[in-house]
Amino acid sequence: QVQVVESGGGLVQAGGSLTLSCTTSGTSSIASSGWYRQAPGKQRELVTSIESGGETTYADFVKGRFTISRDNAKNTVYLQMNSLKPEDTAVYYCNVQTFRTFGRNMYWGQGTQVTVSS
């Protein structure tokens, strides 16, 4: 019943900006939300996350350039990407974790392609 859907990917020149959106349906018990990315031939890596209390974390390679935010009324989390670099090119995935009596359930979106040209 829980669905996670990303949108907003596309082609942008180096130095440009892009905003990704991730909308979750089917739950009101979100523990955390985050963005991961995976480039061809590489492992999926954490970009940023936000906890239910609002605490955020960022990978070193995006600090000062990317910002995660959320709109609880819309069940949507955003990734504002500024000063994009060619090495940011990847498929970006939204990850949502929901509360359980113990532990968490985890859900992934389908991914959205971000391509940064030189």
Tens of pLDDT along the chain (118 residues) come to 899 999 999 999 999 999 999 999 999 889 999 999 999 999 999 999 999 999 999 999 999 999 999 998 999 999 999 999 999 999 999 999 998 888 889 999 999 999 999 9
Map residue 21 onto helix, strand or coil: strand
CB < 8 Å & 24+ apart, contacts of 25-29? 25/75, 26/1, 26/2, 27/1, 27/2, 27/96, 27/98, 29/98, 29/99
Task: Report how far residue 43's alpha carbon sits from residue 104's, in angstroms, rounded to the nearest whole number.
Answer: 23
